[in-house]
Amino acid sequence: MSKLEKNAYILGTERAELHRLGLQHQVWDSEARAAWKFAEFSAGQTILDLGCGPGFCTMELAYMVGEYGKIIGVDKSKHYIEFLQQNAALHALENIQLKEASFDEMDLSTVSLDGVYDRWALAWVSNPEEIIQKIADAMQSGAVFIAQEYYDWSMFQTTPALPALKKGIAAALQSFMDMDGNINIGRHLPELFAKAGLEVIRIRPMAKLATPDDLTWQWPKSFLNIYLPKLTQYLSPDEVEAALEDLDELEYLNNATILCPQMVEVVAVKG
């Protein structure tokens, strides 16, 4: 994987971000698996992994659906698609079909999906209603669409609230608010699913409160270490340095906590 890839991912696709995504998957894997169980994803099904990235979920789903099933992974990052292709080949997973494309460009016209999984994919598109409708049209009757997205990113906070770190977190949120997508798309998904003719069957909040001694702490920590230095339009180098120093200090304070951005899971079925 080459070091840089422009315009593919908000946080980039360099090695540090690949590692962060692997860590992120470990933190959220139990939530994904709980959703897949609820949706009854199983052997023989065809499932779309929307925004598959380097494929941590894609690989698990491929084992789940087995040799007679199929996982369709769609992502706009060539680097991550190539990484996933190499991993799939290494594990002899021939039931993974990959599409290097934006969601606008992905071709689902001849696909009959049994399931769809989306985690942090719809927040970054400017036309989620169109994308959801496009996917719904490719779902067969009884197919289940699982979406796990941010509901309220502004909930991201620390205790104690160190000033430079608080400013850094606020800058990250502002950068998301200035983008074409909707970082809090999760709160709109029930309405968007209904417009696409899907019946919402579950809405479940997903919250993470981290302490320095657990794995979850490493998720916001790794995000801030990678993303804050990229916010050159919002923070000066000195402000970034001060924020990251606060983050390091926070980890050694007694009873410190990080409340991660509020997530929501919305599950819908096609009648």
Q: Report if residue 229 sits inside a domain.
A: no
Residue percentage of the chain with pLDDT more than 90: 92
Position 10 pLDDT exceeds 60: no
**Average pLDDT, stretch 77-84?**
94
pLDDT at 1: 37
> Domain holding 196: CATH number?
3.40.50.150
Instruction: Determine the structural domain holding residue 140 and report its residue range.
Output: 15-153+180-207+262-270
Instruction: Give the C-alpha separation, 260 to 181, whole Å.
Output: 20
- The pLDDT-based confidence of 111 (bands split at 50, 70, 90) is confident
Q: Report if residue 168 sits inside a domain.
A: no
Q: In a 10 Å sphere around its CB, with 0-12 CB exposed, 13-18 middle and 19+ buried, how is residue 116 labelled? A: buried
Position 92 pLDDT exceeds 50: yes
Q: Report if residue 9 sits inside a domain.
A: no
Q: Please state, as a whole number, how many other Cβ atoms lie within 10 Å of the Cβ of residue 66.
A: 13
Rg (CA), the chain: 19
Q: Report if residue 4 sits inside a domain.
A: no
DSSP 207: -
Q: What are the angstrom distances between the C-alpha of 253 and each of 156, 159, 223, 246?
A: 18, 10, 20, 11
Q: Report if residue 222 sits inside a domain.
A: no
The average confidence (pLDDT) of the chain is 94
Q: Report if residue 80 sits inside a domain.
A: yes
Alpha carbon 178 to chain centroid, angstroms: 19
In total, how many domains does the chain have? Answer: 1
| pLDDT tens-place string over residues 190-242 | 999 999 999 999 999 999 999 999 999 999 999 999 999 999 999 999 999 99
The partner residues of 115 in beta bridges, in order of sequence, read 47, 144
| pLDDT tens-place string over residues 131-175 | 999 999 999 999 999 999 999 999 999 999 999 999 999 999 999
Q: What is the pTM of this model?
A: 0.93
Q: Report if residue 161 sits inside a domain.
A: no
Position 88 pLDDT exceeds 90: yes
Q: Report if residue 162 sits inside a domain.
A: no
pLDDT at 110: 83
DSSP 14: S
